[in-house]
């Protein structure tokens, strides 16, 4: 606990700043006020560990893959399943073979594979996110954008834990939509605090980030599912 969460007083302040003051902790780090916070990498790794441990406890995971993207739902059901309509033979054939497995085997393969591969796949998205920020805010060093990316993803994983709760179907959709709206608003406030700029310019940058990053996440999720089905 001491090693991974820094419980000697830094954890409460870190979480307070992370939740209540978007970008404030990042700005403090950039200005040299670092000792009172948990290090960004340790914070991200610790929270992601909690998230994926939570993912292991979800009653059921449903994945649908088609040309429009990848959709993952966590629902109160016993069946973990995958549907694929991609038009790509190597993916659709693998999913078809997966669907023929017994229920217990399907659950083990999908859950175990996704949880095993997801932390590594998601970690690769951190430098991608930082790279987008570097293109949009060229007056800063890449390391500063990497710091922003770690703090944002730490908040995102904490918030996404709400989506792991097996809500009934109508509530589940509402929770997911609310999470997406909160993440967008949080990132907008974070960008304004760290990088400055007007509201309109920040909103335009936010639209670009969301458009590119949604594609990156969908690609990473697809890769994760395909890897998970490589039993």
Residue 209 has what pLDDT? 94
Name which residue leads in pLDDT, 16 or 117. Answer: 16
- Asked whether residue 140 is assigned to any structural domain, the reply reads yes
Residue 160 belongs to a domain: yes
Domain count for the chain, please give it. Answer: 1
CB 117, CB 93: distance < 8 Å: no
Can you tell me the mean pLDDT for 61-81? 62
Look at residue 64 and tell me if it is in a domain: yes
d(CA 155, CA 219): 22
Q: Is residue 14 part of a domain?
A: no
pLDDT in tens, 77-122: 556 677 767 777 777 777 777 777 787 777 777 766 766 677 777 8
pLDDT in tens, 150-177: 999 999 999 988 887 777 777 877 888 8
109, part of any domain = yes
57 lies in a domain?
A: yes
| Two structure tokens written together for 1 | 């606990």
Q: Determine the structural domain holding residue 60 and report its residue range.
A: 50-228
Q: What is the pLDDT of residues 178-226, one digit of tens each?
A: 998 999 999 999 999 999 989 999 999 999 999 998 888 777 777 777 7
Q: Which helix (H) or strand (E) holds 211?
A: helix 199-228
Give the dihedral sign, CA 20/186/175/163: negative
In angstroms, the CA 161 to CA 153 distance is 12
| The token pair that represents 63 in the structure block | 């994945």
> For residue 19, is it within any domain?
no
Query: 85 or 25, which is more confident?
Result: 25
Question: What does the pLDDT read at residue 12?
Answer: 81
Domain for residue 142, yes or no?
yes
Measured distance CA(76)–CA(59) in Å, rounded: 5
């Amino acid at each position: 606990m001491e090693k991974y969460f820094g419980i000697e007083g830094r954890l409460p302040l870190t979480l307070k700043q992370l939740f209540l003051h978007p970008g404030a902790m990042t700005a403090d780090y950039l200005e040299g006020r670092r000792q009172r916070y948990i290090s960004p990498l340790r914070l991200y790794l610790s929270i992601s560990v909690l998230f994926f441990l939570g993912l292991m406890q979800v009653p059921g995971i449903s994945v649908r893959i088609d040309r429009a993207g990848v959709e993952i739902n966590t629902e109160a059901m016993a069946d973990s399943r995958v549907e694929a309509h991609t038009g790509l033979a190597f993916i659709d054939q693998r999913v078809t073979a997966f669907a023929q497995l017994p229920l217990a085997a399907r659950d083990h393969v999908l859950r175990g594979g996704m949880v095993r591969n997801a932390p590594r796949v998601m970690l690769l998205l951190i430098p991608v996110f930082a790279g987008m920020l570097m293109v949009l805010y060229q007056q800063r060093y890449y390391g500063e954008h990497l710091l922003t990316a770690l703090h944002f993803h730490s908040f995102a994983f904490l918030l996404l834990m709400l989506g792991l709760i097996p809500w009934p179907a109508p509530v589940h959709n509402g929770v997911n939509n609310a999470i997406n709206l909160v993440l967008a608003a949080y990132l907008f406030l974070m960008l304004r605090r760290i990088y400055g700029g007007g509201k309109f310019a920040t909103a335009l940058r936010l639209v670009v980030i969301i458009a590119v990053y949604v594609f990156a996440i969908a690609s990473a999720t697809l890769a994760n599912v395909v890897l998970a089905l490589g039993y």
